A and B are shown apart, each in its own frame.
Chain A
Amino acid sequence: MATVAGTLAHQANTGVWSWITTVDHKRIGVLYGVTAFTFFCWGGVQALIIRTQLAVPYGNVVDAGTYNGLFTMHALTMIFLAIMPLGASFFNFLTPLMIGARDVAFPRLNALSYWTFLAGGLVLSSSFLFGQPPRGGWFNYAPLSSTQYAPDLGIDFYVVGLLTLGVSSLMAALNFAVTILNLRAPGLTMMRLPVFIWMTLIISFLLILALPPLTVALIQLLFDRQFGTHFFNAAEGGDPILWQHLFWVFGHPEVYILILPAMGIVSEVLPVFSRKPLFGYPAIVFSGIAIAFLGWAVWSHHMFTTGMGAVPRTIFAANTMIIGIPTGIKIFNWLGTMYGGSIRFNVSMSYAVSFIALFTIGGISGVMHASPPVDTQHQDTYFVVAHLHYVLVGGAMTGIFSGIYYWFPKMTGRFLDEKLGMVQFWLWFIGVNMTFFPMHYLGLIGMPRRIYTYDPGLNFEFWNMFETIGSFVLAASVLAFLWNFFTTMRKEPTAPNNPWGAPTLEWATTSPPPEHDFDVIPTVRARDPLWYDRDHGIEAPQPTGEHIHLPPPSYYPILIATGILLLTVAPLTHLAMTVLAVPIIVYGIWGWALEPTE
């Protein structure tokens, strides 16, 4: 390929520099995945310390301040640095492949999303290195977040970390929305899109709409802390409730941003290993849209105990209960997909089926505290901790593991070991239930959340110890996965194009796919294109040998991300840092704009 002056050459595909300058969606997907899984392990270590502290009454593994920092950072790490980017990893790797495209719409923007995510993640996580983690919970309610009650840098790390991650997510979301709407292969109409791609599209719109209110709230908090404004200070005419509304207008759609990728994954896995098409495809798609739409009208169910009036409580309760309807439809349709099938229980399928069971538990408890009177007893107890972990661990992470085992041969050309995978699956399934099921009971008998210590004699002892043991079973499962991953990566790639006999386009190309994804852009004739082609004897088209244009690598994304990183450091050190940061960003955008694309 010709190299034009001012463009980086397409170099050998190895070496650190090739990863730093890559704009290939598959490599960015790998970067997201590896980074996010590293953060996932780090969040898991935090969880283990939390569980060890709570194993016995009056635990003294850590002190109160460290504990508050741990549970705050555990939530932030798992939500923003592990589960969201693990979803992003799948979006990146799979979206162009599943819609028959050669890359995303804006490849350099995609690289910038990743590097900005890394910058935000590092800034947020580094708070521990300076001994000043945020301690106000991931929801960070005012006025506990003010300089009066949180004088150290913890909340500033929170503000700049989340602002940066928000910028990253917003860029990624715009990119995927544009990609899915514009770059679909010929014949791939919207109602033929794989459900995973539908979920990606829905999540992209959720992110585009949910991040602005969070950004507004974060900027207000930044102003309160840096410039002495009083947005959330009741004593000066501000209002701490304002933070709660802005945060949860983001925070509740965020829940769907976390769970919809997993729903998309199992909607791909279940039909393949049941050997039959998805049951009620339109119902599953429209339920996903309905969930996302209703997700905007329920945020105040996080605030039932703040003293809202009877009318808002009634409306938000009703809306929340209504979300149970499309969710129920999805669960029944997944079961309908399995019904009448010839189900092969490999690791990926075992995870997908256990997703249905575990997510259902989280869904049921969610509908339970949709009732405001009941919520006055659930709110801020371990019942809610049980609920959210069934959704995020039993739901999102279980779905993600299903996806990892399913797409691993496509991503690397190698099969993860099934035997070890089964051991890992059972450790995971048992660990999730051991750790989180007793939390329902503990919440029911009055154990509040976010307490670093509890008294003996309240019957909290036995199940807390039990849960702590469960959390180590979960840790063993993750270790088994890591072992599986590293041993598998040392093997030779053996995977054929379509080892599972799957119907979607990513299985039409080699495993792993070439840099240009498809030799010939496929044509889609039905909802399950590869099954249709197989059943109708349609051969894959032959490569024509025409020139395939690919975007050249670029170092401008990481340069701009470096500028953003310096910008985030400003509120933590001195605002003069902006003088250093802004020129780098401006130079990066300038160079980006003028960079030739051939």
Chain B
Amino acid sequence: MTATGRQGETVHVTRKSRAFARRWLPLCSLVFLVALLTGCQLDTAQSTTVIAGTHNAEVWNSYRVIFWLAGLVFVVVMLLTLWISIRFRERPGVSAQQIHGNTKLEVLWTLIPVAIVVVMAVPTITSIQREAQGPPADAIKVIAIGHQWWFEFQYPDLKINTANELHIPVNKPIAFEIRSNDVIHSFWVPQLAGKIDMMPGHVNSIWFAGTVARPEPYLGQCAELCGLSHANMRFRVFVDTPEDFNSWAQKVKSATPAPSDSLARQGQEVFQRSACIGCHTIQGTTAAGIVGPNLTLLGQRTTIASGTIPNTADNLFRWINNSAAIKPGSLMPPMGQSAGGALSDDEIRAVSAYLLSLK
């Protein structure tokens, strides 16, 4: 063998790096552990590990097995690599054993991954089979349609059409019909269910029941790149008690109340004579556009701009004035005069008041 000079230098370097590792490794590990313990909370608002729906529960039937198996393989391979690296590093007077292979060993470590794969496949395939059976007969039908960049929800049996905030009764299976109006989107509420793509030209389906009723919404988000404002395409799912759901559904179906105060009345008048009605529907009024989200009972919603900002008078003003400033690429043209639209600030304020009054 040649170049022993280089070899000497290498040994020197490794010895030095070993000293370096001795000094810094404990500190680094400590920092890492502290970060791990403080930073890795699992029950966060959009976490897939919180199981609040039947579909996610089904996912975790497989996931739990696979997660721990993966963890086991990870630990074994890492420890093995580390141990071999330390145990067989070059030492003076010890030369390498010239082994070409070992059939028994190789058969063994072919069988180990085979076994792991089989254990993973069993819950996976049973889960696929269960899902293929489709929703229970008593499921409520909801049509979810992806638009650039918002979600439309129709309840064909209840004759309800709403947007970006979905209400479902707890423990009641919901059979979703999944569609898209333009490009591919993906329908995903991590705590309730895995995702399903919204494909133009195809009708997909998914079903699940929310199992935990609570006043706070479950967060949903589009998971397939769908253009400029993909990041701003979110929605919320409220899993209500049956009573809350029924009262919500009744309210949406009944005629919209006439605005009570004068500002809101003025807003309604502006709304009706402006471009708004070309795209938006407000049930019980002449506004019947279908391009943009249905605004019936908008005052009841907690957010606007497809789940990205709270539903307040100020935010509504900003949105109507120039929606693209909040959601880049927004297909709603700027309505405020300052942004090139037709409405004055006072008119926008009135429209905002009108929309907020729709409760």
Contacts and interface: CB of A to CB of B under 8 A. Distances in A.
A273 to B, nearest CB: 9
Contacts of B197: 305-307
Contacts of A412: none
A418 B99 contact: no
A310 B70 CA distance: 24
Contacts of A449: 223, 225
Interface residues of B, number: 107
B223 A274 contact: no
A422 interface: yes
B202 A241 contact: yes
B300 interface: no
Interface string A316-340: 0110011011011101110110111
A419 interface: yes
Interface in B1-51: 1-3, 6-7, 9-10, 13-14, 17, 35, 38-42, 44-49
B227 A144 contact: yes
Interface in B327-345: 328-329
Interface in B191-208: 193-197, 199-202, 204-205
Interface in A363-392: 364-365, 367-368, 370-377, 379-381
A370 to B, nearest CB: 8
A444 B224 contact: no
Contact of A344 (B49, B90, B120, B131): B90
A466 interface: yes
A97 to B, nearest CB: 18
A305 B186 contact: yes
Contacts of A283: 101, 106
Given A451-B230, A454-B231, A446 B58 contact: no
Contacts of B91: 342
B302 interface: no
Interface string B109-127: 1101110110011011101
B200 A321 contact: no
Interface stretch (A108-116, A495-503, A589-597): A495-503
Contact of B128 (A310, A322, A333, A457): A310
Given A64-B329, A68-B225, A446-B48, A371 B66 contact: yes
Contacts of B94: 342
Q: Which residue, of B46, B90, B196, has the highest number of chain A Cβ atoms within 10 A? A: B46
Interface string A446-475: 111111111101110011001000000000
B88 A274 contact: yes
Contacts of B105: 336
Given A336-B102, A457-B45, A65 B200 contact: no
A361 B61 CA distance: 22
B124 A371 contact: yes
A368 B66 CA distance: 6
Contacts of A135: 227-228
B88 A374 contact: no
Contacts of A144: 183-184, 225-227
A313 interface: yes
B106 A458 contact: no
Interface string A237-279: 0111100000000000000000000000000000000111101
Contact of A496 (B3, B14, B41): B3
B7 A344 contact: yes
B49 A368 contact: no
Contact of A353 (B39, B55, B81, B121): B81
A102 B148 CA distance: 58
A375 B59 CA distance: 9
Contact of A276 (B96, B106, B190): B96
Contact of B195 (A370, A376, A438): A376
Contacts of B148: 149
A63 B77 CA distance: 42
Contacts of A448: 188, 221-223, 231
Interface string A129-148: 00000011100010110000
Contacts of B221: 446, 448
B183 A137 contact: no
Contacts of A455: 308
Interface residues of A, number: 107
B56 interface: yes
A441 interface: yes
A325 B113 contact: yes
A361 B71 CA distance: 10
A5 interface: no
B248 interface: no
Q: Of A239, A448, A459, which is in contact with the most chain B CB atoms at under 10 Å from its CB?
A: A448
B211 interface: no
Nearest to B180: A234
Contact of B98 (A238, A276, A447): A276
Contact of A149 (B58, B106, B227): B227
B183 A149 contact: yes
Contacts of A306: 197, 199, 204
Contact of B110 (A279, A325, A340): A325
Contacts of B129: 310
A360 B82 CA distance: 13
B245 interface: no
A240 B186 CA distance: 14
Contacts of B66: 367-368, 371, 374
B62 interface: yes
Contact of B6 (A307, A333, A357, A499): A499
B127 to A, nearest CB: 5
Interface of A: 63-65, 68, 135-137, 141, 143-144, 149, 234-235, 238-241, 274-277, 279-283, 305-307, 309-310, 313-314, 317-318, 321-322, 324-325, 327-329, 331-333, 335-336, 338-346, 353, 356-357, 360-361, 364-365, 367-368, 370-377, 379-381, 415, 418-419, 422, 426, 438, 441, 444-455, 457-459, 462-463, 466, 496-501
Interface of B: 1-3, 6-7, 9-10, 13-14, 17, 35, 38-42, 44-49, 55-56, 58-59, 61-63, 66-67, 70, 73-74, 77-78, 80-81, 84-85, 88-91, 94-102, 105-106, 109-110, 112-114, 116-117, 120-121, 123-125, 127-129, 131-132, 148, 178, 182-184, 186, 188, 190, 193-197, 199-202, 204-205, 219, 221-232, 308, 328-329
Given A367-B117, A450-B231, A498-B2, 5 more contacts: A321-B121, A344-B7, A360-B74, A360-B81, A372-B128
4 nearest A-B pairs in the assembled complex, by CB-CB distance:
A376-B194, A234-B201, A446-B46, A451-B231
18 contacts: A64-B328, A149-B148, A325-B114, A339-B99, A340-B97, A341-B97, A342-B94, A346-B14, A370-B120, A371-B66, A377-B195, A379-B186, A380-B224, A415-B6, A419-B13, A422-B13, A448-B223, A450-B231
